[in-house]
Amino acid sequence: MTMRLSDTQRLITGKAAPLGDFGRAMRRLHIDGPLLGGLLLISALGLVVLYSAVGESMRLWMNQLVRLGVALVAMIIVAQIPPGFLRRWTPWAYFGGLVLLGLVLLTGEVGQGARRWLDLGIRFQPSEIMKLAVPMMAAWYLHDRQIPPRFNQILIIAVIIVVPTVLIARQPDLGTALLIAASGIIVIVLAGLSIRLMIALAALSVPGAYGLWQFMQDYQKQRVLTLLDPDSDPLGAGYNIIQSKIAIGSGGLFGKGWTNGSQAQLEFLPERDTDFIFAVMGEELGLLGVLSLIVLYMFVVGRGLYIAVQAPDTYSRLLAGSISLTFFVYVFVNTAMVTGLIPVVGVPLPLVSFGGTSMVTLMAGFGILMSIHSHRKLLPH
Amino acid sequence: MDLLSPIKDHHSERRLFIARVILTSVVAIVLLGLVIARLVQLQVFDYEHFAERSQGNRIRIEAVPPIRGLVFDRQGRILAENLPAYQLELIPEQVDDLDDTLNRLARKNLIEAADIPRFLELSRSGLHFKPVTLNLRLSDEQIALFAIQRPRFPGVDFRPRLVRHYPDGEAIAHIVGYVAAMSTSDLEKVDLSRYAGTTQAGKTGVESSYESRLHGDSGYRHIVTNARGRHVQAESRDLQETLPADARPTPGANLFLSIDLELQKLATELLADRRGAVVALDPWSGEVLALVSAPAFDPNLFAVGMSTSQYSALQQDSDQPLFNRAVRGAYPPGSTIKPMLALAALDTGATNLERKTVCHGFFMLPNTTHRYRDWKPEGHGEVNIHDALEQSCDVYFYEISNDIGIDRMHDYLDRFGLGSETGIDVTGERPGLVPSTEWKRNAFSNRSDQRWYLGETVIASIGQGYMLATPLQLATATAALATRGIRYQPRIVAAWEDPLSGERTLTPRVRLDDVELDNVSFWDDVINSMNKVMQGARGTARAVGTGAPYRMAGKSGTAQVFSVGQDEEYDEEEVEERLKDHALFIAFAPVENPRIAVAVIVENGSSGSGVAAPIAKVIMDRYLGYDDAAE
């Protein structure tokens, strides 16, 4: 019996009609067509929205275009690295990243009240390395071990996750720290963490949240309080959320039209080209616009999970799953924050927000997915 | 290594992994569903609410001030207009180094260095996008200079605005008045909805008394502003088209004054370098033909705004240029009230046309030794009431003064409008003072001061003592003499014009109670005597009126500024300028059909007939069209 596949399923599973010479060239370059297509569509839509969000500044827009190009090149380069090689070098990447994080805390450059940057010839944030190194390390640790992991193994992975998370949280960069923790936790969950243990951990999260509260900076606490009642301080901490909700809500079904969003263009909307760019899109392109972006994101996440399921070994499988789901977490945290569902944490909308470093990391992650998919040996199970 | 590790069951591991992918996918879909539900809630169900809030966010209502009405003279010559001027402004948020910028502007003489601390404070305390005005009116040279230097002053620019302008500033300063920045007390007086956006209001003269008519009504427009409240020119048509309708301002009405600018300028010239006032009226309507107070000032200084030092210089000037002597200056009227008193004396029977007195140069009340001097030490000899008016014999009036009595004097002078405000349509008028026994009882608290003395009646009969009158009051009283008792309220504004329809409305003339006499032939007696003052053989002002091609009537007055001791000789040479007598003159012409009534006062002018009368004569000549013949 043959299953009938819908067009979308065909696309996600890569069973679309062969692409001929072009398809073969892509394969030789270890590029996954559907994934690349989805990413390019998101990026294109992102560039359209960004042009409006940067106030039609051609200079800033070209800037972003160049970054996107750099990120795509990085993706293709990473895609050439065989997963086995990547796995062998994983501990080096992880511990090297930890050393750099330590250096940041000691000598890093301060920007916007936080110490995040390191200048080693080029300026970069070591936390970006950890976004990939943490799930890689967790997957590396589980690669040779029995799945599902035993409790003591989970504790070791917990240490792998907690050490960089705490270092990054102390910069302080709570948003990135939480995302990195999430990427590690996703590895454990995918590895088969028992449901009972998950429930137990969820129960523990209540005192855990209290501990986190103690750990938070004042501005971070303020963000949480603001979420609960944004109108309590409409010109202060609640301003961002209120203006963002007005922008999205006033966009309606079809939006006010590209570059016509009054909230965005008249600068009522804060950080319109970075963390709150989703609100610009909601205002100017309406519900239909944001839903199409969400569909594109889901396509990419779906394709990533398909690659994970198809992956030949534990390391590849867990890493691919974590990268895909972490990408989803990005999307969720940003959209939920901008729509006022969760507190404001500084998480950009992936591939759309203005900014370079995180885009390169993201694309490198997708390069890993492509590498996993294209290097697998088609063994019968 | 691989061999030592537990054998991995790849099959079950993959199944477990797929199960976990499904589990996490379900969780992801649920979370995503939350976000989508939230979007639907915001963009579909609460759309109206947020659309309204975004509209309210970006639209501000900005007041548009109306254009102030123009002021013309009776011939349609412009007295007050609105001219574009350029002012220098600084937008604090666009300036990197405030101190440096201001200092450089001061070095270029574009601003006053003394004002820099004030500008610094203004720039730092206000909204950072709101311009701070550095110079209210740039001269042509300054505009040219700044135009070249502009690139070196980022954040500084010049901007046009309408400035009230008075082309003949000094000549009309006291009648048209001026506009200046509104004070907080101004703001309390006006209807704020009409004045939204207005920064200046009339402070004196017609500008003040006709403020509500000149001002018009503010309009408003909707503008798009950004998050910091700054007006942005929305490039997008879509943004612009959604704005609600604007309301245009209603311009203020144009005023036509009854004054004649030429006459006004002439009177100003005649009073040049003097302190004094001239008021000329049309006796048959009360229209003010000229109203001048000297010295004057440049009202444009107020409209444009002046520095503190300029203002205090004006205020501290001992000649008091800001003081409107014509309506606010209360002077002893001196002999100018004699025609009115003569009428009172004749009408009450206190004297008659036959009664004669021999003037020896002084008068003494019975059983006293105090000498009331005549202005002519050797005396006028035998005089009747005609002679007494023509030669201004004080002794005759001293003699009949107590026959009339102070209260009947008050009664008649009151009928001529002395001692109370004339009701002219400019604010700040003074009532002057005509004393009476009742007035004295109320005016003093000390019992002995409350008594009226006969001697006080004596000096009241020549317009001295307590008696005070404004030049305007003297002019209206003269007009009443000219019309033989018919009185009109003085008016400056003759008509106003609706700026939209062009329709003109005349200001109705207001007739006051007539001065009624039992025997109207007394008017002829007094008017003929007043004619002789100017054109008779022995008239005090015959030097002025003799030979004129028309008949005129007048009366001189000389008011003592201080009392001279009993037996001292009055030596003008030794008296300081400021202690000289005030010179007064009232006149009207032509006698048969009076068309103009004039009152002139020259402070410390010494001689009414010698200094004030020629001024009155020139004005009458000009108004009646005889000025060429006179030259």
Region of poorest pLDDT, from A94-108, B126-140, B360-374: B126-140
Residue ranges with strand state E in B193-284: 200-202, 219-224, 254-257, 276-281
Confidence of residue B6 (pLDDT cuts 50, 70, 90): low
List of residues 6+ apart from B178 with CB closer than 8 A: B164, B166, B202, B203, B204, B205, B207, B299, B300, B302, B303
Q: Which helix (H) or strand (E) holds B64?
A: strand B59-64
Does B336 or A228 have the greater pLDDT score? B336
**Which range scores top for mean pLDDT: A12-21, A110-119, A134-143, B210-219?**
A134-143
What average pLDDT does range A228-234 have in this prediction?
Answer: 57
Interchain contact, B39 vs A287, CB within 8 Å: yes
Residues B5 and A144: beta-carbon distance below 8 Å: yes
- Bridge partners of B487, per DSSP, are B512
Interchain contact, A336 vs B34, CB within 8 Å: yes
Interchain contact, A267 vs B31, CB within 8 Å: no
Which pLDDT belongs to residue A112? 59
Q: Is B224 within 8 Å of chain A by CB?
A: yes
Cα distance between residue B475 and residue B481, in whole Å: 10
Name the minimum distance, in Å, from the CA of B302 to any CA of chain A. 39
Interchain contact, A245 vs B42, CB within 8 Å: yes
Confidence of residue B4 (pLDDT cuts 50, 70, 90): very low
Strand-strand pairing, B71-72 and B254-257: parallel
The chain B residue lying nearest A301, using CA atoms, is B25
Structure tokens at A129: 């390395």
Least CB-CB distance to B42: which of A147, A248, A294?
A248
Q: Using one digit for the tens of pLDDT, what is the confidence trace for A232-291? A: 555 555 778 888 999 999 999 998 888 888 788 777 788 888 889 999 999 999 999 999
Query: Between A and B, how many residue pairs show a Cβ–Cβ distance under 8 A?
Result: 151
pTM assigned to the model: 0.65
Least CB-CB distance to B21: which of A148, A298, A309?
A309
State which amino acid sits at residue B362.
F
Q: Is the pLDDT reported for residue B567 higher than 60?
A: no
Q: Which of A243, A250, A271, A272 should one mutate to test binding to chain B, selecting the residue with the greatest count of B CBs within 10 A?
A: A250
State which amino acid sits at residue A185.
I
The b/e string for B560-591 (b: 16+ C-beta within 10 A; e otherwise) is: beeeeeeeeeeeeeebeeeebbbbbbbbbbbb
Interchain contact, A252 vs B51, CB within 8 Å: yes
Q: Is the pLDDT reported for residue B47 higher than 50?
A: yes
- Classify domain B62-165+217-250 at the CATH topology level: Penicillin-binding protein 2a (Domain 2) (3.90.1310)
- Using an 8 Å CB-CB cutoff, list chain A residues near B231: none
What average pLDDT does range B400-420 have in this prediction?
Answer: 91
Q: Is the pLDDT reported for residue A16 higher than 60?
A: no
The chain B residue lying nearest A147, using CA atoms, is B13
Which pLDDT belongs to residue B571? 55
Which pLDDT belongs to residue A349? 93
Find tokens 């979007």 and name the residue. Answer: B39
What average pLDDT does range A125-141 have in this prediction?
Answer: 92
Which pLDDT belongs to residue B575? 56
- Using an 8 Å CB-CB cutoff, list chain B residues near A191: 17, 20
Which pLDDT belongs to residue A5? 60
State which amino acid sits at residue A241.
I
Supply angle C-alpha A125, A131, A137, rounded to 5.
125
Q: Is the pLDDT reported for residue B245 higher than 80?
A: no
Residues A69 and A112: beta-carbon distance below 8 Å: no
The chain A residue lying nearest B40, using CA atoms, is A287
Residues B435 and B466: beta-carbon distance below 8 Å: yes
Q: Which helix (H) or strand (E) holds B408?
A: helix B406-415
Residues A73 and A284: beta-carbon distance below 8 Å: no
Which pLDDT belongs to residue A356? 64
Q: Is the pLDDT reported for residue B187 higher than 90?
A: no
The CA-based diameter of chain A, rounded to the nearest angstrom, is: 64
**Cβ count within 10 A of residue B309:** 10
Q: Is the pLDDT reported for residue B284 higher than 50?
A: yes
Confidence of residue B291 (pLDDT cuts 50, 70, 90): very high
* C-alpha distances in Å from residue A169, one per residue of A127, A216, B291, B516: 10, 9, 83, 103
Q: Is B38 within 8 Å of chain A by CB?
A: yes
Q: Which helix (H) or strand (E) holds B15?
A: helix B10-40
Provide the percentage of residues in chain B whose pLDDT is more than 90. 38
Bond into B471 cis (ω within 30): no
Least CB-CB distance to B39: which of A189, A248, A267?
A248
Which pLDDT belongs to residue A110? 65
Which pLDDT belongs to residue A6? 65
Q: Is the pLDDT reported for residue A1 higher than 80?
A: no
- Bridge partners of B192, per DSSP, are none
Q: Which helix (H) or strand (E) holds B316?
A: helix B308-316
Does A216 or B421 have the greater pLDDT score? B421
What average pLDDT does range B47-52 have in this prediction?
Answer: 88
Q: Is the pLDDT reported for residue B1 higher than 50?
A: no
Q: Using one digit for the tens of pLDDT, what is the confidence trace for B481-491? A: 999 999 999 99
Interchain contact, B28 vs A189, CB within 8 Å: no
Q: Is the pLDDT reported for residue B564 higher than 70?
A: no
Q: Using one digit for the tens of pLDDT, what is the confidence trace for A162-182? A: 999 988 888 777 788 888 999
Residues B163 and B173: beta-carbon distance below 8 Å: no
Which pLDDT belongs to residue B230? 60
The chain A residue lying nearest B31, using CA atoms, is A332
Which pLDDT belongs to residue A381? 42
The pLDDT mean for chain B works out to 85
Which pLDDT belongs to residue A269? 83
Region of poorest pLDDT, from A110-124, A263-277, B386-400, B464-478: A110-124
Confidence of residue B91 (pLDDT cuts 50, 70, 90): confident
Residues B385 and B348: beta-carbon distance below 8 Å: no
- Using an 8 Å CB-CB cutoff, list chain A residues near B54: 246-247, 249-250, 262-263, 268, 283
Residues 39-98 of B with CB under 8 A from A: 39-40, 42-44, 46-47, 49-51, 53-55, 57-58
What average pLDDT does range A41-64 have in this prediction?
Answer: 91
Q: Which helix (H) or strand (E) holds B584?
A: strand B582-589
Q: Is the pLDDT reported for residue B403 higher than 50?
A: yes
Which pLDDT belongs to residue A320? 96
Which pLDDT belongs to residue B631? 43
Residues A250 and B54: beta-carbon distance below 8 Å: yes
Q: Which residues in chain B are classed under CATH 3.90.1310.10? A: 62-165+217-250
- Using an 8 Å CB-CB cutoff, list chain B residues near A263: 54, 57-58
Residue extents of the structural domains in chain A: 31-375
Residues of B marked active site are found at: 335
Cα distance between residue B548 and residue A63, in whole Å: 93
Q: What is the ipTM of this complex?
A: 0.89
The chain A residue lying nearest B239, using CA atoms, is A260
Structure tokens at A178: 């939480």
The CA-based diameter of chain B, rounded to the nearest angstrom, is: 158
The pLDDT mean for chain A works out to 85
Which pLDDT belongs to residue B240? 62
* C-alpha distances in Å from residue B370, one per residue of B10, B595, B597: 142, 43, 37
Provide the percentage of residues in chain B whose pLDDT is more than 70. 92
**Which range scores top for mean pLDDT: A292-296, B193-197, B554-558?**
A292-296
3-state SS assignment for residue B194: helix
Find tokens 């507190």 and name the residue. Answer: A343
3-state SS assignment for residue A243: helix
Q: Is the pLDDT reported for residue A68 higher than 90?
A: yes
What average pLDDT does range B468-486 have in this prediction?
Answer: 93
Answer left, alpha or beta for residue B143, where phi above 0 means left and psi between -120 and 50 means alpha.
alpha
Name the minimum distance, in Å, from the CA of A252 to any CA of chain B. 4
- Using an 8 Å CB-CB cutoff, list chain A residues near B229: none
- Using an 8 Å CB-CB cutoff, list chain B residues near A150: none
3-state SS assignment for residue A225: helix
Strand-strand pairing, B254-257 and B493-497: antiparallel
The chain A residue lying nearest B41, using CA atoms, is A249
Interchain contact, A192 vs B16, CB within 8 Å: yes
Q: Using one digit for the tens of pLDDT, what is the confidence trace for A338-350? A: 998 888 777 889 9
- Classify domain B262-630 at the CATH topology level: Beta-lactamase (3.40.710)
Which pLDDT belongs to residue A99? 92
Q: Which residues in chain B are classed under CATH 3.40.710.10? A: 262-630
